[in-house]
């Protein structure tokens, strides 16, 4: 079974993301697993959006102990997505989310970057991240990937 990590921005509390609806349905049928990195889970459960908080609690999360090796990968990821260094807690969180995905060898489903308003972000640097063993996908790409496996 394939497992995906979900980024904070893929919490589909209002069911407005059609491809996340499909991915969640596939997971409910036991054909894939949707988990969250602990840092993304922590981000998603804060704030005023009660539906998002409730939806977040429906996911299991995996966290890291931040070993010497993981701190090495933190610096490597930071040099790619924030060459001048992470400046905010959100940027630090993004790096740890990517490092966790790498450590667990799970594809990260996100909507972070590669857009007109945000050229970089996780998706904008996914080619470089992929060379480091971090697979970053949009939700529709995750659906395509899991459908290839369950219905070739």
- pLDDT per residue, tens digit, the chain (152 aa), is 999 999 999 999 999 999 999 999 999 999 999 999 999 999 999 988 899 999 999 999 999 888 999 999 999 999 999 999 999 999 999 999 999 999 999 999 999 885 555 567 899 999 999 999 999 999 999 999 999 998 86
- Distance in angstroms (rounded) separating the CA atoms of residues 84 and 139: 29
The answer to whether 118 and 82 are in contact (CB under 8 A) is no
The answer to whether 93 and 43 are in contact (CB under 8 A) is yes
Taking Cα atoms as reference points, which of 105, 107, 100 lies closest to residue 64?
100
| pTM metric for this prediction | 0.93
């Amino acid at each position: 079974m394939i497992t995906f990590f979900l980024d904070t921005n893929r919490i589909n509390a209002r069911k407005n993301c059609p491809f996340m609806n499909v991915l969640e349905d596939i997971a409910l049928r036991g054909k894939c697993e949707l988990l969250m990195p602990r840092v993304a889970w922590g981000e998603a459960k804060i704030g005023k959006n009660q539906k998002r908080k409730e939806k977040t609690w429906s996911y299991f999360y995996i966290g890291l102990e931040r070993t010497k090796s993981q701190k090495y990968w933190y610096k490597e990821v930071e040099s790619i997505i924030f060459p001048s260094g992470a400046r905010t807690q959100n940027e630090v969180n993004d790096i740890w989310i990517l490092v966790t995905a790498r450590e667990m060898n799970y594809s990260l489903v996100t909507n972070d970057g590669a857009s007109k308003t945000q050229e970089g972000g996780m998706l904008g640097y996914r080619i470089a991240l992929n060379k480091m063993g971090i697979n970053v996908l949009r939700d529709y790409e995750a659906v395509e990937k899991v459908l290839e496996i369950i219905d070739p």
